[in-house]
Amino acid sequence: MSTRHFRTLLDLEADELMTVLDRAAELKRLRGTSEHPEPLRGKTIVVLLEKASTRTRLSFEVGITELGAFATTLIAKDTQMGRGEPLGDTARMLTRYAHGVVYRTFGHDRIEALAADAGIPVINGLSELYHPCQLLADMQTIREHTNGRLEGVRVTWVGDGNNMANSWILAAERTGLQLTIACPEGYDPHAPALEAAAKAGHSVRVLRDPVEACIGADVVTTDVFASMGQEEEATKRAQAFAGFMIDGEKMAKADPGAIFLHCLPAHRGEEVAGAVIDGPQSRVWDQAENRLHAQKALLEFLVG
């Protein structure tokens, strides 16, 4: 069988995705007990980073260890990659040493390129286009709130049409969650992702009005206005996203039982008001924790 990768959510069939999410909930329950499994005993997983990371690095390192495997993190600029060793040669070399690689990079084509030359599973730890591991945790967090349901859950994304927005769109494609996106013109999500969702019969609404987008939402979520690599655009983006901060007014439009999610790191007073992210509807710490459980389930599925 050819090597399975996790480049985007579409690398898992819908039923496989639910299997992984169910297992994530089970691993969360078993954590710290004598029944917790170690299906990766004797294996090595490499975490290869071309961008900064706190949660992705830590949740993978801890999760890999808890599955009985050895985790080693490479900061790409400190390796021979930083001196120009080709990605393909890196892929071939990783294949000889390790049993899986988590890769955080810039262009999504680099995820595809590493996977093309790797004989071991490549897991996208964030690219400019997608952040699928984060969505596993986000869906796990939603299911904790909805008694396991994803289909039909009304999710509103307010902000940039970035890697997180694109990943939400593919989550809608796979699960039928009902997604609304509010973004300013010029900051739309990736068109092929929208087309994929529409083709699957789970069209995503794209609006310009962030207040309208929040009406009746079960989940309200956002992310930074300037992602890693876009630091120089920060001022221009702050202007373009004026009025897009998730604040009390927007949360009041959502369902009274709505929750707030953010992949973190967050900028209070920019994309989210402190009163929202630190308030009673926020589930961001459960969401961050769920990175650990969801990725353990993913690793067990791909590498175990």
User: Which residues in this chain contact ligand CP in the complex, by CB under 6 A?
Assistant: 53-56, 126, 134, 263-264
Residue 162 found at the interface with ligand NVA (CB under 6 A): yes
Q: Least CB distance from residue 230 to ligand NVA, whole Å?
A: 8
Of 50, 223, 289, 300, which lies in the binding site for ligand NVA, with binding defined by CB under 6 A? 223
Task: Give dist(CA 140, CA 156) in Å, integer.
Answer: 17
Exactly one of 163, 167, 282, 290 binds ligand NVA (CB under 6 A); which one? 163
In 3D space, the residue among 142, 158, 143 whose CA is nearest the CA of residue 208 turns out to be: 158
Tell me whether residue 284 or residue 303 sits nearer to ligand CP (CB atom): 284
Per the annotation, the verdict on 29 as an active-site residue is no
Residue (126 or 277) nearer to ligand NVA, CB: 126
Q: Is 217 in the site for ligand NVA (CB under 6 A)?
A: no
Min CB(128)–ligand NVA separation in Å: 7
Catalytic-residue membership of 291? yes
User: Amino acid identity, residue 140?
Assistant: Q
How far apart CA 98 and CA 90 sit, in angstroms, is 12
54 binds, among ligand CP, ligand NVA, none (CB under 5 to 8 A by kind): ligand CP
- Indicate which residue of 223, 237, 262, 287 is catalytic: 223
| Distance from C-alpha of 104 to C-alpha of 111, rounded to nearest angstrom | 8
**66 binding ligand NVA? (CB under 6 A):** no
Contacting ligand NVA within 226-255 (CB under 6 A): 227-228
Report what 164 binds from ligand NVA, ligand CP, none; CB cut-off 5-8 Å by kind. ligand NVA
As annotated, the active-site residues are 104, 131, 134, 223, 263, 291
Binding region for ligand NVA (CB under 6 A): 126, 131, 162-164, 223-224, 227-228, 263
